[in-house]
Amino acid sequence: MDDPRNPTAPRAFEQPIVTVDIVLLTLMEDELCAALLQRARPPHLGEWTLPGGFVHTDTDEDALAAATRILETKAGVESPYLEQLQTFSGRHRDSRGWSVSIAYYALVSHQTLQRPGESATDASPLKWRAVDSIRSLPFDHRDILRAAVDRVRSKTLYSSLPVHLMPLTFTLSQLQSVYEALLRTELDKRGFRRRIEELDVVEPAPQQPTTRGAHRPAQLYRVKRKAANGVAIADRNLTR
Amino acid sequence: MDDPRNPTAPRAFEQPIVTVDIVLLTLMEDELCAALLQRARPPHLGEWTLPGGFVHTDTDEDALAAATRILETKAGVESPYLEQLQTFSGRHRDSRGWSVSIAYYALVSHQTLQRPGESATDASPLKWRAVDSIRSLPFDHRDILRAAVDRVRSKTLYSSLPVHLMPLTFTLSQLQSVYEALLRTELDKRGFRRRIEELDVVEPAPQQPTTRGAHRPAQLYRVKRKAANGVAIADRNLTR
DNA sequence: TGAATAGTGTCTGTTAGACATTATATG
DNA sequence: CATATAATGTCTAACAGACACTATTCA
């Protein structure tokens, strides 16, 4: 952590710009969608980018706090599932100079977003686009988006991460649909339920099941408190 | 990526310090060891820390290049396996101010380090310590070390990552010993070889097997070129 | 030939995938 | 009672774990 050329002046040379960018994801009509914001100033004025902003060293405790602040302020989203993704850096990714972007990804339920009088699209120019239809973005935001989508789809293979895309209560059939949309494949009902039970992250909700049609109503589930932020990793293979 | 308070001056407020820290790991006598360097200036002058340094915006293309430079310059290590770990940040982790550390982890073969006339301990005050014996480190370096060790051990469960701790050629028995040391458990020989074959990352070396004792000599293997940086992830579960 | 390690064969309990059956609601 | 979706039962092929056996070298 030293500057070898200036032993007595550790901050003698130009420091990079430090920003936080967030890939905010939700599921709408079986499509994984990312939130984009219209830039209010240059560079890339008027273009659509991932929500992001400078780290405020005067008020942010750390980068996670900056990400939380940016999500609330610029996207109107509170307390979603939020996890650090990867840090992107370099001389050429931002025309303003050598820059660092600490990238996060966030998952929200689309239903939860649409609270009365607080629609995200009211306060700010925010739009949702299907991630597979996004061909290019300013800066290196397409790389960041791609990394986040790959991460979420990869974790869907072996973890309960997608529960954070669900509303407060949901049925197992709905949860299965979400997994199927993310993985773009069909899953076997019995196998899916076995796996979800093993992961031990959801529990029956106390509410009564409400029926929607001429058929047996489905049990409502909710995310277990303790497991809300945990990610289960298969600890099989190679070990015995 | 804007400063909302200073629309025309995007870099108006204090930027964080940006550093790179590296958890350099190797295996010595069945113990996972990390490289520590003695700090040449304050803060924490004289204490042992992870190798690290400021990003040089004038010469480093990106953070990975900075990590490579620091490894070569300060630890005398060239072209190891190197991967971004996680970024640590905040107001209090460094007494010099709000700081960002883009952390990497690197794997090297201990045998490869000891080339004649280039011992790492010659040029710099570098020492290797068993990771499980390291109780405290300056800054938040113990957290960084812990994250790296957890990551390596976790990846050992399902990937071929540990091949990067091996010398140029090695036997499957030696590779199994490395896995066993990392996982701190014994593995079944048959199952281990089945799995390594599935991962498809090593191939028989052209060299003749050399025998070491009154027993059948072992086939020497080497890492496949194409797979040198790839990490295999089990794509089973939940999918059919 | 015995000792030591390398390498392969193979049995078996477990389980994931596939599909069948039962349960419960409405009209 | 027909129908639609929920929930569970169960068969089987595949595989991971366990262990036995063969191979090859040197003393």
Q: How far is B227 from chain A (nearest CA, A)?
A: 19
**Percentage of residues in chain A having pLDDT higher than 70:** 85
Average per-residue pLDDT for chain A: 87
B117-167 pLDDT per residue, tens: 444 444 568 999 999 999 999 999 999 999 999 999 999 999 999 999 999
In whole angstroms, what is the distance from residue A96 CA to residue B11 CA?
9
In whole angstroms, what is the distance from residue B147 CA to residue B142 CA?
9
* Closest residue, by C-alpha, to the C1' of D16: B191
Cβ–Cβ of B2/A39 closer than 8 Å?
Answer: yes
* Closest residue, by C-alpha, to the C1' of C4: B215
Q: How many CA atoms lie within 13 A of A204 on its CB side?
A: 6
What per-residue confidence (pLDDT) applies to B111? 87
In whole angstroms, what is the distance from residue A125 CA to residue A36 CA?
8
In whole angstroms, what is the distance from residue B3 CA to residue A124 CA?
17
Token pair belonging to B36: 């520590």
Residues with CB under 7 A from strand D: A 171-173, 189-190, 193, 209, 213-219, 236-240; B 188-191, 194, 211, 213-217
What per-residue confidence (pLDDT) applies to B123? 54
Of A18, A40, A154, the CB nearest to B16: A18
Distance between the alpha carbon (CA) of A183 and the C1' atom of C20, Å: 26
Question: Which segment of A7-16, A125-134, A156-165, A189-198 scores lowest on mean pLDDT?
Answer: A7-16
Q: How far is A110 from chain B (nearest CA, A)?
A: 24
What per-residue confidence (pLDDT) applies to B228? 44
Nearest nucleotide by C1' position to the A190 CA atom? D8
CB atoms within 10 A of CB A137: 20
In whole angstroms, what is the distance from residue A223 CA to residue A118 CA?
24
**Percentage of residues in chain A having pLDDT higher than 90:** 77
Question: What is the β-pairing status of strands B17-28 and B99-107?
Answer: parallel
What per-residue confidence (pLDDT) applies to A233? 28
Token pair belonging to A194: 């076995």
Which helix (H) or strand (E) is A195 found in, with range?
Answer: helix A189-199
Nearest nucleotide by C1' position to the B172 CA atom? C6
Question: What is the β-pairing status of strands A17-28 and A99-107?
Answer: parallel
pLDDT at residue A194 is higher than 60: yes
Of B11, B156, B237, the CB nearest to A195: B237
Q: How far is B213 from chain A (nearest CA, A)?
A: 29
Whether nucleic acid strand C comes within 7 Å of the CB of A217, the answer is: yes
As beta bridge partners, residue A105 has A23, A83
Q: How far is CA A172 from the centre of its chain?
A: 22
B32-51 pLDDT per residue, tens: 999 999 999 999 999 999 99
- B162 phi-psi bin (left φ>0, alpha ψ -120 to 50, beta other): alpha
pLDDT at residue A215 is higher than 90: yes
**Residue from B56, B89, B182 to probe the interface with A (highest A Cβ count within 10 Å):** B89
State the amino acid at position B7 in one-letter form. P
Cβ–Cβ of B94/A1 closer than 8 Å?
Answer: yes
Residue of A nearest to B74 (CA): A4
Strand, coil or helix: A46: coil
Structural contact between residues B233 and A151, judged by C-beta atoms closer than 8 angstroms: no
Collect all residues of chain A within an 8 Å Cβ-Cβ radius of residue B179.
Answer: 238
What per-residue confidence (pLDDT) applies to A113? 75
What per-residue confidence (pLDDT) applies to B226? 75
Cβ–Cβ of B11/A96 closer than 8 Å?
Answer: yes
Average per-residue pLDDT for chain B: 87
What per-residue confidence (pLDDT) applies to B86? 98
**Residue from B73, B163, B238 to probe the interface with A (highest A Cβ count within 10 Å):** B238
Structural contact between residues A156 and A163, judged by C-beta atoms closer than 8 angstroms: no
- Split at pLDDT 50, 70, 90, the class of B8 is very low
CA distances from B113 to A38, A108, B73, B132 (A): 51, 48, 14, 22
Token pair belonging to B132: 């499980």
Question: Which segment of A8-12, A169-173, A192-196, B145-149 scores lowest on mean pLDDT?
Answer: A8-12
CA dihedral B58, B63, B69, B72 (to 10 degrees): 170
CA distances from B12 to A22, A106, B19, B214 (A): 22, 28, 21, 73
CB atoms within 10 A of CB B22: 30
pLDDT at residue A7 is higher than 70: no
As beta bridge partners, residue A27 has A32
Non-local (6+) Cβ contacts of B227 within 8 A are: B160, B199, B200, B201
In whole angstroms, what is the distance from residue A61 CA to residue B144 CA?
18
**Percentage of residues in chain B having pLDDT higher than 70:** 85
pLDDT at residue B9 is higher than 60: no
Residue A112 burial (C-beta neighbours within 10 Å; 0-12, 13-18, 19+):
middle
Instruction: Map tokens 């993985």 to a residue.
Output: A183
CB atoms within 10 A of CB B136: 7
Of B97, B154, B239, the CB nearest to A233: B154
Residue of A nearest to B185 (CA): A239
Of A10, A15, A40, the CB nearest to B18: A15
Structural contact between residues B235 and B158, judged by C-beta atoms closer than 8 angstroms: no
Q: What's this model's pTM, rounded to 2 decimal places?
A: 0.90
**Residue from A238, A239, A240 to probe the interface with B (highest B Cβ count within 10 Å):** A238
CB atoms within 10 A of CB B148: 26
A15-68 pLDDT per residue, tens: 999 999 999 999 999 999 999 999 999 999 999 999 999 999 999 999 999 999
B63-78 pLDDT per residue, tens: 999 999 999 999 999 9
What per-residue confidence (pLDDT) applies to A181? 98
In whole angstroms, what is the distance from residue A12 CA to residue A5 CA?
9
pLDDT at residue B229 is higher than 90: no
